[in-house]
Amino acid sequence: MNDILIIVRKELREMFRDKRVRFNAFVMPIFLIILMVQLFGFVMSAAVGGTKATVYLVASSGALTEAIQKGGLTIKTVPTIEEGVKLIQAEKAKLVLAPMEPTTDGQVRVEAYYDPKQQMGNLALSGLQQALAAANKENLFQTLKDKNIPESAAEHIKLIPKEVKVGEKGAGAMIVALLPYMIVLFAFSGGMSMAADLVSGEKDKNTLETLLITPVGRNQIVLGKFLALASVCFLSSASCLVGMVLASTLKLPGSHEMFKDGFGVTPIAAATIILVLLPLVAFFASVLIAISSYAKNPREAQTYLAIVNFIVIMPAVFSQVIGLTDLGNKLWINCVPVLNTANNIRAALLGKTDWLAVGITVLVSAVLAGIAIRTAVALFNREEVLVRV
Amino acid sequence: MMVRTHGLKKHFHDPKTGIKKAVDGIDIEARPGRIFGLLGANGAGKTTVLRMLSTVIKPTEGSAEVAGFDIQKQSQEVRASIGFMSNSTALYGRLTSREMLEYFGRLYGLDEKLLADRIRYVVEKLQIEEFADRLCDKLSTGQKQRVSIARTILHDPKVLFFDEPTAGLDVVTSQTVMEFIEEARDLGKTVVFSTHIMSEVERLCDDLAVIHDGVLVASGTPDTMREATGEHNLERAFLQLVKFQAGYVSARQGTV
């Protein structure tokens, strides 16, 4: 055990002195999280702003103007429809409204001009439709009331949404989509730059042979390297949380929209994240060590690592959209490697930790980690793999 | 005997050519206080022999003892008794010289007091003090070579293996290495030294084995080699032995 710790300490010391590792494993996740929070926050703000956009009116209409103002939209005027259309073509206006002559029964008809290819135009139209629907409903109910007809005549079935509290207070939807993916991603890619050097780099620099000639057993050498790498993978993942904390505390422009529903990392969520992450990190570190042992040199190792990284990314990417399906609640999803961890982190952030799901996930990842560690140790003990250059 | 091999063989599987006999039945003996030279051209099998003796790879057949330990059954004891140095300095660029020595000293099981004493000794002996706390990546080739020597002798091994230690080095650095090898011999260490440079053999080797295509062609002292071939010059003696062996090998393979 002492020899293993000597190797762990040396590998970590070397790693912390390597700029590439420091940047890829620690700076990169923090930077990316802050960047993505800002980006998503900005998009969300813009989407909300789109429904409260400015509309251009060709001619004033009392009822229409009142409905638009009640809906929170801003009104500007434009002299003619042609000029309004030109403004849309020049992407200076998103929605131009041209009231028509009222019908004989008094209905106010309005032509709405917009560019369907422009998302902000669609959002403005949607915002206007909501505002007019609310005004129409209010008008209808007033008419019914004046004629002593109950509201139920117009709204036979009335939907009354009631929020049900499930689990602890959870994070917002964007945090839930972003954070599990990043945590899982950096559990692998955070260790990539170090992994290439760990064994194949030592082969390349001839230091491996010097190490093999010491009395320390090969199993201890590979376990020491594994533990050092697993620590880096775990810390790289944890850096994502540091990035989130920084993004929320720095009060940057996009932060408000992203964190308005909360951060989601309660003590239970943090414990769940650590619990599901540890066996996954062990699995990833073993895979990285096995690849590094097999490769002749760091370049070859990086080629293999890039391919494996792509395979790891796929289930992690799916975790971002799993909330749009019902799959996240299925028990069997906890048997799908990588995705199971991301899904449990997602549930934890929503305040809905399912301990059975956590147990299955930990078991599956631990079994995979065990197989991968055995493979890495076996490869490290094969002389044709170890001394090939 | 500190190093003894019996019919040592190492065969590799080559997907293109089938079995490659890198070493094919080598018997050598090296004694304390003497330098044993393994002489052979590139690819002759010298490095493979040294790798087997240092337990990095296992023999296909045959056996060997190093410092009284069987290389297969007591590999850990063998490794604790040897120092190994090649032409590659094999240093960790992001560790300082002192950190490197501490790392290897601990891996060799030296307790902290002994480790501190040994580091003090090798640092002074090899004049490393000036750059002991500098990262190995920042050292000159000569400085790196001195650190590499320091690492090799740090645990005071009984047997020292040198695999072409001067290949690619300038004259001054080569001198440092050769002086160190002579000093190790004078201290009673068993030195096994592989090379293909005749001037080094003339200067250093007390005993000699010539290997060609994995086969032991001749062994003895440099003088007995000269006598056996009738050549006064050791290089010519070597060439004669190798030419003879080349023909022998070709005939053995049925191509002549």
Per DSSP, the residues of A158-220 read: ---------SS----HHHHHHHHHHHHHHHHHHHHHHHHIIIIIHHHTTHHHHHHTSSS-HHH
Q: In the predicted model, what is the mean pLDDT of chain A?
A: 87
Q: What is the model's pLDDT at position A167? A: 59
CB-CB neighbors (< 8 A) of B93 in chain A: 205
Residue B196: strand, helix, or coil: coil
Residues of chain A neighbouring B94 (CB-CB closer than 8 A): 13-14, 17-18
Q: How many CA atoms does the CB half-sphere of A284 hold within 13 Å?
A: 36
Instruction: Encode pLDDT of A73-124 as tens digits.
Output: 888 888 889 999 999 999 888 889 988 887 888 788 889 999 988 888 888 8
Most confident of A157-161, A295-299, B96-100: B96-100
Looking at the predicted structure, is the pLDDT value of residue B199 above 90?
Answer: no
Q: Do B80 and A215 touch (CB under 8 A)?
A: yes
* Size of chain B in residues: 256
pLDDT of residue B244: 55
Please list, in sequence order, all residues whose beta carbon lies within 8 angstroms of the beta carbon of residue A312, skipping any fewer than 6 positions away: A184, A185, A188, A189, A284, A338
Give the predicted TM-score (pTM) of the model: 0.82
Per-residue pLDDT, averaged over A219-224, amounts to: 94
| The pLDDT of residue B253 is above 50 | no
| In the predicted structure, residue B250 carries a pLDDT above the cut 60 | no
Name residue, tokens 């799993």. Answer: A322
8 Å CB contact of B79 and A17: no
Average pLDDT over every residue of A239-266? 80
Q: Given an 8 Å threshold on Cβ–Cβ distance, is A206 in contact with B12? A: no
Q: Write the residue in A7, A18, A383 that is nearest to B94 by C-beta.
A: A18
Please report how many Cα atoms fall inside a 13 Å half-sphere around the Cα of residue A132, on the Cβ side: 15
Residues of B in Cβ contact (< 8 Å) with A14: 92, 94-95
Indicate which of A8, A21, A214, A385 best probes the interface with B, i.e. most B CBs within 10 Å of its own CB: A214
B46 interfaces chain A, CB cutoff of 8 Å: no
Are B57 and A3 an interchain contact pair (Cβ–Cβ within 8 Å)? no
Record: contact A213-B84, CB cut-off 8 A: yes
Mutate to test the interface with A, among B69, B106, B108 (most CBs of A within 10 A): B106
In chain A, whose CA is at the least distance from the CA of B152?
A: A210
Instruction: Give the lowest-confidence range in A168-177, B217-226, B242-251.
Output: B242-251
Number of CB atoms found within 10 A of residue A111's CB: 12
Is A214 in contact with B104 (Cβ distance < 8 A)?
Answer: yes
Quick one: closest CA in B to A16, which residue? B94
B162 contacts chain A (CB < 8 A): no
CA max distance for chain A: 100
The maximal CA–CA distance of chain B, rounded, in angstroms, is: 63
Mutate to test the interface with A, among B107, B148, B156, B160 (most CBs of A within 10 A): B107
pLDDT of residue A50: 59
Residue in this structure with the two tokens 């019996």, named with its chain if needed? B6
Residue B17 contacts A, CB cutoff 8 Å: no
| Secondary structure of residue B220 in the 3-state scheme | strand
Chain A closest CA to B166's CA: distance in Å?
A: 16
Q: Give mean pLDDT, residues B197-203.
A: 88
Per residue in B42-81, pLDDT (tens digit) is: 889 999 999 999 999 999 999 999 999 999 999 999 999 9
Residue-level pLDDT at A122: 86
Query: What integer pLDDT is reported at residue A70 of this predicted model?
Result: 78
> What is the C-alpha to C-alpha distance for residues B200 and B177, in angstroms, rounded to an integer?
11
Lookup result for tokens 């072409």:
B164
Taking the C-alpha atoms of residue B5 and residue B49, their distance in angstroms, rounded to an integer, is: 10
> Which of A161-175, A308-322, B149-163 has the least mean pLDDT?
A161-175
Q: Say how far apart CA B74 and CA B124 lie, in whole Å.
A: 33
Q: Tell which residue, A192, A178, A366, A157, has the closest CA to residue A288.
A: A192
Q: What's the pLDDT score for residue B252?
A: 41
pLDDT at res. B79: 95
Which of B200-219 are b and which e, b meaning 16 or more Cβ less than 10 Å from the residue's Cβ? bbeebbebbbbbbbbbbbbb
Contact A210 B107 (CB under 8 A): no
Q: What Å distances lie between residue A349 and A30, A43, A177, B170, B217, CA to CA?
A: 18, 22, 10, 63, 73
Least confident of A63-77, B69-83, B112-126, B129-143: A63-77
Mean pLDDT of chain B: 89
State yes or no: pLDDT of B248 exceeds 50: no
Residue-wise pLDDT tens digits, A51-84: 667 888 887 667 788 888 877 788 888 888 999 9
Nearest CA in chain B to A213: B79
Closest Cα in chain B, distance from residue A13 (Å): 8
User: In Å, how far is A284's CA from the nearest CA of chain B?
Assistant: 25
Q: In what order do the strands lie in the sheet with B207-212?
A: B82-86, B159-163, B190-195, B35-39, B207-212, B215-220
Beta bridge partners of B219: B209
CB contact B107 to A (< 8 Å): yes
For the residues A44-50, what does the mean pLDDT come to? 68
Q: How confident is the model at residue A279 (pLDDT cuts 50, 70, 90)?
A: very high
Tokens 């917002």 identify what position? A172
Greater model confidence, A112 or A389: A112
A148-188: per-residue pLDDT in tens? 998 888 888 888 888 776 655 666 777 888 889 999 999 99
Nearest-by-Cβ selection for B107 from A3, A205, A207: A3
Pairwise CB contact (< 8 Å): B51 & A387: yes
A203 phi/psi in degrees, rounded to 5:
-60, -45
Return phi, psi of residue A379, to 5°.
Answer: -65, -40
Grade residue B27 by pLDDT with cuts at 50, 70 and 90. Answer: very high
B6 pLDDT tier (thresholds 50, 70, 90): very high
**B9-13, B186-190, B231-235 — which one is most confidently predicted on average?**
B186-190
Taking CB atoms and an 8 Å cutoff, what residues of chain A touch B77? 215
B88–A205 C-beta distance less than 8 A: yes
When pLDDT is averaged across residues A16-29 and rounded to a whole number, the result is 92
Contact criterion met (CB < 8 Å) for B90 and A209: yes
The stretch B16-26 carries a mean pLDDT of: 87
Locate tokens 């290439």: which residue?
A196
Pairing between β-strand B207-212 and β-strand B215-220 as defined by DSSP bridges: antiparallel
* Torsion from C-alpha of B69, B73, B77, B81, nearest 10 degrees: 50
Task: Determine contact: B57 vs chain A, CB below 8 A.
Answer: yes
Contact (Cβ atoms closer than 8 angstroms) between residue B247 and residue B254: no
A13 contacts on B by Cβ (under 8 Å): 94-95, 99
